[in-house]
Structure 1
Amino acid sequence: MGRNTLLAAVCAVAVASIYAAQPALAGIGADLGVPASGLGWLVAAGQLGYLAGLALLVPLGDLRDRRTLIAGHLVLTAAGALAAASATRLWVLLAGLGLAGLFAVVVQTTVAYAAATAAPAERGRTLGAVTSGVVLGILGARIAAGALATAWGWRSVYVVLAVLLVTLAGSALKLLPPDPRPGSSSYRAALTSLGGLFRDRLFVTRGLVAFFLFASFGALWSGLALPLAAAPWRLSAAQIGLFGLAGLVGALGAARAGRWADAGFARPVTAGALALLALSWLAIGQASWSLGLAVAGVVVLDFAVQAAHVSSQHLLTTAHPDRTSGAIGGYMLFYSLGSAFGAAATTAAYATAGWAGSSVFGAVFALGALVTALTDRARPAGRCRSAPGRPGRSRRRARRTTGGRAASG
């Protein structure tokens, strides 16, 4: 197994532990006596754990050997999955899902590891390959978990996940080279450095792009089942889950975006992708009467989301090579908040204005991302400062030694 393939598999299985409950909610509710109004907490538990992990665990990647962190976090994610699989009470299930979500941030440590160990000329290509595993996990989890829950019950989903997670942990220790971090920094300094990123214009701009980008993504995948299950289609849950295949086609098709970023086109690729994202809602909005247009729109939307996502991560890891874990973790905070906001907005809009209302929200989010990206006038990638929190020091030194040429960007 190649390194990028292994890293992509780690991302896919880890992120699947957050989304695996969605197609099995009805079975879980019936087994544990959870009312329909409380099923949303099963998904929220993993998401809340994930948010905590982004802030508290991901910065460790800038202090410790990321290879051992990846293996350890995979094992702890498996422990959460096993707790969920064996739960006979709701609170045990919620605790297991929360634990799995907390350590599922191994995804961001893995992405940071991939960026840090890749050759600079191939960083975008590597990020494109590895982050394709994230999309595979998000969309493929719905299909695989639904099939497993139907065949062997919802507990089988978490047993299979636990086995895969432990297997990948062993493979990571065996096949990945060490990635030692400098020992001079402290955990407190890493957290402070993460907070300092919010004073960096590139980071904030790309974070806001991620917020709007994944709000649009969440508006689609949290709301599309509503018009598909309604008249005239009345599709089953299994049939609706197959739309994830269309999403996979689009997202995996965007893997080449990493090569474009390596060639210096990260910003133009982002702008073009976000324009496509907005246009995709013209087709997706027709889901109430045309499945063909809806499928085409889903393919274009997921292509656009992945292309913009890879380009943003390329810019951030190039601009902050000394704290890639913190940069990726902070960026993903915007991602998580955007996904949650988009999910809430699309269901509220559908209740009042139908799928047309949800589609308007999705398009508005896409336009928000595009406008934000077009205002990005941050320094070009590769001319970043190595010392966090000291914005003018390296530039003044550069002016003294090179006559200011190094600071002209």
Structure 2
Amino acid sequence: MTRGNQASTRAGERTIGMGPASALPRRLILLFAVACGGAVANVYFAQPLLVTLGQQFSLSPATLGAIVTVTQLGYGLGLFLLVPLGDLLDRRRLITVQLALLGAALLAVGLAPGAAVLLAGMCGVGLSAVVTQTMVAAAASLAGPAQQGRVVGVVTGGVITGILLARTVSGLLADLAGWRSVYLASAVLTAAVAVALHRVLRIGGGTMQRVPYWRLVCSTVTLFAREPLLRVRGLLAFLLFAAFSTLWSSLAQPLSEPPWSLSHTAIGAFGLAGAAGALAAGAAGRWSDRGLAQRTTGIGLGLLAVSWVPLAFTQQSLWALGVGAVLLDFAVQAVHVTNQTLIYAVRPDSGSRIIGGYMIFYSAGSALGAIGSSLLYAAAGWAGVCALGAGFSCAALALWAATRSAGRSRAATR
């Protein structure tokens, strides 16, 4: 081997990256999973802290959901405006810049002097946390076709683990050092992750030729207008995460009140009850690779609807809450991974825009669930919240059944 080749080999060992035809190394898959989990966790830190934030900034119980809602609206805006850039720009730089912006938004929240700055900072956190989807699309683009479902499943498993640990970590840190420490500590960790990724990752630019930015953004709408599968899976995501957010955006209120009166740490710990969701993510990816996407979707949505039966008894039994949370998180993540695997396969060359567009439905559903559950809890208590969540879940199951039947009818007439 020549000296030039040896130097080239050593340089390749320091920077990770390859084309989609190669098998993606496990260490790179895990790096994406950890980075995605850390980024998305910031969107969910507030959930166990809502009652405390309401008291700190003089927000009424009916408006507590606004904290989650503005975060999700910022997330939706970022999905539409920022994630499509992954099909056009150098993803390494894009990921680094988005992580830097996320760190700045976290500092703004951690130092917020009043409600206006808090809500603006939360919107900024949501806007820049879409780096998660940029990284999911990057991981999917680097995986070969036979590996894609597994890679998306592992990376999404990291996302789900980040969501689950977000509630637990934020509750624990808030009890130990106050709620501001949650966001300040995350700002430091986000900066560290940005440096690490910039040093080891070489992904390259997107597959599109240079086009005007406005045309790139509008092409996301065009993709969904042309592809029925994208619309159906997007609507399923909307209803799926409306149900998910209905539970987790309102749970702090009944758990903070008698008869439970739990601490931040105890409330956050219930996020771990949904750890089965992380297991579901990996399993669903493998099932999709085997052609079982429709079956996985149907079973997942059935479990989602059933989960609201034990959840309705939360004020009488914490065991019922645990069982319901496991069922709900498992169902949500199984369907979510299946959705992403199916939609990415429609147009792999447009992965960032497809995943970004799909996640807009996710963000809109999450925002609706958050504000809806807060208003219903104030008006009708926990029973109203469970009725709302069950309604979203049954609507998703009905949509899947109707579109599956329609698909079979069209296939039979060909």
TM-score (ref. length: structure 1): 0.85
**In the alignment, is the contact (CA less than 8 A) between 1:71 and 1:172 conserved in 2?**
yes
The answer to which of 312-321 and 84-93 deviates more is 84-93
For the residue of structure 2 that corresponds to 1:120, the secondary structure is coil
1:301 aligns with 2:328: yes
The answer to which of 82-91 and 302-311 deviates more is 82-91
1:10-409 correspondence runs (5 A): 10-25=35-50, 34-37=57-60, 41-182=66-207, 184-186=209-211, 187-199=213-225, 200-376=227-403
> Which deviations, in whole Å up to 9, do the C-alpha atoms of 1:368-407 show, x marking residues without a partner?
1112222335999xxxxxxxxxxxxxxxxxxxxxxxxxxx
Number of matched pairs: 380
Of 30, 33, 43 in structure 2, the residue corresponding to residue 8 of structure 1 is 33
Cα displacement (A) at 1:203: 0.8
What amino acid is the match of 1:308? V
**In the alignment, is the contact (CA less than 8 A) between 1:149 and 1:156 conserved in 2?**
yes
Change (3 A) 1:128 1:229: same
Cα displacement (A) at 1:28: 5.3
**In the alignment, is the contact (CA less than 8 A) between 1:273 and 1:307 conserved in 2?**
yes
**In the alignment, is the contact (CA less than 8 A) between 2:65 and 2:373 conserved in 1?**
no
The answer to which of 236-245 and 83-92 deviates more is 83-92
Partner of 1:392: none
> Which deviations, in whole Å up to 9, do the C-alpha atoms of 1:327-373 show, x marking residues without a partner?
11111111111112222333343344433332222222112111222
Q: In 1, Cα distance between the equivalents of 2:46 and 2:377?
A: 23
Q: Work out which structure has the larger RCO, using CA pairs closer than 8 Å and 6 or more positions apart in sequence.
A: 2
Change (3 A) 1:170 1:19: same
* Aligned sequence identity (%): 47
Cα displacement (A) at 1:224: 2.9
**In the alignment, is the contact (CA less than 8 A) between 1:251 and 1:299 conserved in 2?**
no
Change (3 A) 1:363 1:91: closer
Q: In 2, Cα distance between the equivalents of 1:57 and 1:35?
A: 33
What amino acid is the match of 1:168? V
Q: In 2, Cα distance between the equivalents of 1:28 and 1:197?
A: 40
Cα displacement (A) at 1:278: 0.9
Question: Mind listing any 5+ residue stretches in structure 2 that lack a counterpart?
Answer: 1-25, 408-412
What amino acid is the match of 2:174? A
Q: In 1, Cα distance between the equivalents of 2:66 and 2:247?
A: 20
The answer to which of 205-214 and 250-259 deviates more is 250-259
> Which deviations, in whole Å up to 9, do the C-alpha atoms of 1:96-150 show, x marking residues without a partner?
3333321111011111111111111111111111112222222321221222222
For the residue of structure 1 that corresponds to 2:122, the secondary structure is helix
Q: In 1, Cα distance between the equivalents of 2:162 and 2:282?
A: 15
For the residue of structure 1 that corresponds to 2:98, the secondary structure is helix
Q: In 2, Cα distance between the equivalents of 1:354 and 1:293?
A: 17
> Which deviations, in whole Å up to 9, do the C-alpha atoms of 1:291-323 show, x marking residues without a partner?
222211111110010000000000000112111
For the residue of structure 2 that corresponds to 1:2, the secondary structure is helix
**In the alignment, is the contact (CA less than 8 A) between 1:82 and 1:162 conserved in 2?**
yes
Partner of 2:19: none
What amino acid is the match of 1:36? L
Change (3 A) 1:40 1:222: closer
Q: In 2, Cα distance between the equivalents of 1:40 and 1:302?
A: 20
> Which deviations, in whole Å up to 9, do the C-alpha atoms of 1:232-273 show, x marking residues without a partner?
434334322221110123443442111111111112111111
Partner of 2:12: none
Change (3 A) 1:39 1:265: closer
Change (3 A) 1:379 1:360: closer
Cα displacement (A) at 1:166: 1.5
Task: Give me the CA root mean square deviation.
Answer: 2.6
Partner of 1:395: none
What amino acid is the match of 2:250? G
Cα displacement (A) at 1:190: 1.6
For the residue of structure 2 that corresponds to 1:375, the secondary structure is helix
Q: In 2, Cα distance between the equivalents of 1:154 and 1:206?
A: 36
Q: In 2, Cα distance between the equivalents of 1:285 and 1:26?
A: 21
What amino acid is the match of 1:298? A
